[in-house]
Structure 1
């Protein structure tokens, strides 16, 4: 039986090594490479055309969303699974919109990861149980709507990640190669969507909801 070739993309070496060992020990899979840099991952995908890519969405300066779009351009047949600490359905939705076939959180079990890989390799979509359960709860939720997290753009999510790390607007502008004014506009929009008054409130919100970003 032909093995499913897998590329692992995550900026944490321990995570890459762990998944490489786990999946490499399964006769159904072959880990052909692991990358900690999105640009390198795009080059590897273009050259080796893996069946499946496990893509961490939280990387900088290029996010997993952007890397997914690029990989789909250079290797259209490759199936991509977003992997993240975020259990918000909005992140899963964004990954599917940019071309991914699946999404699992880092709370997912080894068994669920294996199931996800096998399903997307067949051409099916796969969303982990944690996300599907949250969606089910939201459909029956009657409480007033809180911060509009799902309306955040990929760039706004990326900037929130920089803010969480303590970067100033000027530092963010330099990292993303955009103008300071553009960063300030993004920050204004983030506060508006999250219904927060200022940066201090945003930092407090992020620290109070570590699983969101």
Structure 2
């Protein structure tokens, strides 16, 4: 059986050494190169066309996003798995948009890293359990909030629109010809109905939903 060839890209030598030891100890894999530089990773990918590239997202000056984008152009056969300390789904989504086939965090276990490599080498996409759980929770939260949108009154929806325009409570009161206290009561009720903690969360919710 032909071994899966791997390029390690991380700016911490200890992490590269650990990955290299773990992967080379498995008869299915062989680490053919490693580097601490996104720029060098692009060059190695062009020269050696590894099957899998474990790509640290947080590097400088060339980060994992930019390196992945370039590698997709010059070595499309190489499949990138993003690796990061960040559990934010936005990082995983961005890497996949740029052509990566997988995403794991540095909290992932050895078993999960190996599972990711196998899945991606077979042409499948892989997102680690930690990020998948966060994504699932976000979707549940958004669905719950979306359901509560039906409970908003016409006046509350008007106020949300004015909040989106950046108006303060005082400006909203003048615009709608109601008292400042009434605006504050409406704002409190909006947050309660949408299960949001504060105005910042409300603005974020408005932007996500495109309200």
- TM-score of the two chains, using structure 1 as the length reference: 0.68
1:121 equivalent in structure 2: 121
Query: Displacement of 1:94 after TM fit?
Result: 0.1
Query: Displacement of 1:44 after TM fit?
Result: 0.6
Q: Distance in 1 between matches of 2:86 and 2:23?
A: 22
Q: Distance in 1 between matches of 2:97 and 2:137?
A: 22
1:45-81: CA deviation from partner (whole Å, max 9, x where unpaired)? 1000000000000001111000001111111011000
Q: Distance in 1 between matches of 2:97 and 2:60?
A: 20
Compare relative contact order (CA 8 Å, sep 6+) and give the higher one, 1 or 2.
1
Listed as ranges, the matches of 1:59-70 within 5 Å are 59-70=59-70
Q: Distance in 1 between matches of 2:138 and 2:72?
A: 31
Q: Distance in 2 between matches of 1:137 and 1:99?
A: 25
1:29 equivalent in structure 2: 29
Task: Give the secondary-structure state (helix, strand or coil) at the position aligned to 1:138.
Answer: helix
Task: Give the secondary-structure state (helix, strand or coil) at the position aligned to 1:140.
Answer: helix
Task: Give the secondary-structure state (helix, strand or coil) at the position aligned to 2:58.
Answer: coil
Q: Distance in 2 between matches of 1:37 and 1:138?
A: 33
Task: Give the secondary-structure state (helix, strand or coil) at the position aligned to 2:31.
Answer: strand
2:95 is equivalent to residue 95 of structure 1: yes
Task: Give the secondary-structure state (helix, strand or coil) at the position aligned to 2:92.
Answer: helix
Query: Displacement of 1:139 after TM fit?
Result: 1.4
Q: Matched residue pairs, number?
A: 149
2:11 is equivalent to residue 11 of structure 1: yes
Higher-Rg structure is 2
1:136 equivalent in structure 2: 136
Q: Distance in 2 between matches of 1:50 and 1:10?
A: 16
2:91 is equivalent to residue 73 of structure 1: no
1:4-41: CA deviation from partner (whole Å, max 9, x where unpaired)? 00000000010001100000100000000010011111
Q: Distance in 1 between matches of 2:72 and 2:138?
A: 31
**Structure 2 spans left out of the alignment, 5+ residues:** 146-194
Q: Distance in 1 between matches of 2:114 and 2:136?
A: 23
Q: Distance in 2 between matches of 1:109 and 1:42?
A: 27
